[in-house]
Chain A
Amino acid sequence: MLKQLEGSHAVAEAVALCRPEVICAYPISPQTHIVEHCGELVREGKMGNCEYMNVESEFAALSACIGSSACGARTYTATASQGLLFMAEAVYNASGLGLPIVMTVANRAIGAPINIWNDHTDSMAMRDAGWLQLFAETNQEALDLHIQAFRIAEQMSQPVMVCMDGFILTHAYERVSMPTQEQVDQFLPPYTPQQVLDPANPYSIGAMVGPEAFTEVRYLAHEKQLQALDVIPGIAAEFKAIFGRDSGGLIREYETEGADTIVVTLGSVAGTVKDTVDEMRADGKKIGVVTVGSFRPFPSAALREAVKHANEVVVLEKSFAIGFGGVVANNIMMSLQGTGIHVHTVVAGLGGRPITMPSLHRLFDTALKGELEDMHFLNLQWDIVNAELQRQREQIASGPTAESILRNIQTDTARGTPTPAAE
Chain B
Amino acid sequence: MFQVRLHGRGGQGVVTAAEMLSIAGFSEGKHAQAFPSFGSERTGAPVVSFCRLDDKEIRRREPILEPDCLIIQDPTLFHALDVFQGLKPDGYVLINSTKDWHELGITDRIAHLPQAHVVGINASALARKHVGRPVPNAALLGGFAAITGEIHLDAVEKAIATKFDGSIAEGNIAAARAAHAAALGMELSDA
Contact = CB atoms under 8 A, between A and B. Distances in A.
Interface in B47-82: 58-63, 65
A173 B40 contact: no
B16 to A, nearest CB: 10
Contacts of A2: 26
Nearest to A275: B60
A173 B62 contact: no
Given A356-B65, A358-B65, A172 B35 contact: yes
A188 interface: no
Given A4-B22, A116-B40, A167 B35 contact: yes
Contacts of A275: 59-60
B147 to A, nearest CB: 22
Interface string A73-96: 000000000000000000000000
Contacts of B27: 4
A4 B23 contact: yes
Contact of B22 (A138, A174, A274, A357): A174
Contacts of B35: 167-168, 171-173
Interface string A107-146: 0000000001110000000000000000000100000000
A283 interface: no
Interface residues of B, number: 21
A272 B33 contact: no
A175 B61 contact: no
A247 to B, nearest CB: 14
A117 B63 contact: no
Given A171-B36, A173-B35, A4 B60 contact: no
Given A4-B32, A173-B35, A271 B19 contact: no
A148 B38 CA distance: 29
B31 interface: yes
Given A4-B22, A174-B22, A354 B62 contact: yes
A4 B34 CA distance: 10
B32 A174 contact: yes
A4 B29 CA distance: 11
A357 B61 CA distance: 9
A143 to B, nearest CB: 15
A255 interface: no
Contact of B26 (A4, A6, A138, A168): A4
Contacts of B23: 4, 173
A332 interface: no
B65 A173 contact: no
Contacts of B36: 167, 171
A118 B27 CA distance: 30
Given A173-B33, A174-B33, A271 B60 contact: yes
A84 B18 CA distance: 31
Contact of B62 (A171, A352, A356): A356
A274 B59 contact: yes
A354 B34 CA distance: 16
Nearest to B30: A175
B65 A271 contact: no
A217 to B, nearest CB: 41
Contact of A272 (B22, B38, B60): B60
Contacts of A354: 62-63
Nearest to A359: B62
20 contacts: A2-B26, A4-B27, A6-B19, A116-B40, A118-B38, A167-B38, A168-B35, A173-B22, A173-B32, A173-B33, A175-B31, A271-B58, A271-B59, A271-B60, A272-B61, A272-B62, A352-B38, A355-B62, A356-B62, A357-B60
Given A2-B26, A174-B22, A271-B60, 20 more contacts: A4-B23, A4-B26, A116-B40, A167-B35, A167-B36, A167-B38, A171-B35, A172-B35, A173-B23, A173-B34, A173-B35, A174-B34, A271-B61, A272-B59, A272-B61, A275-B60, A352-B38, A354-B62, A356-B65, A357-B62
Interface of A: 2, 4, 6, 116-118, 138, 167-168, 171-175, 268-269, 271-272, 274-275, 352, 354-358, 423
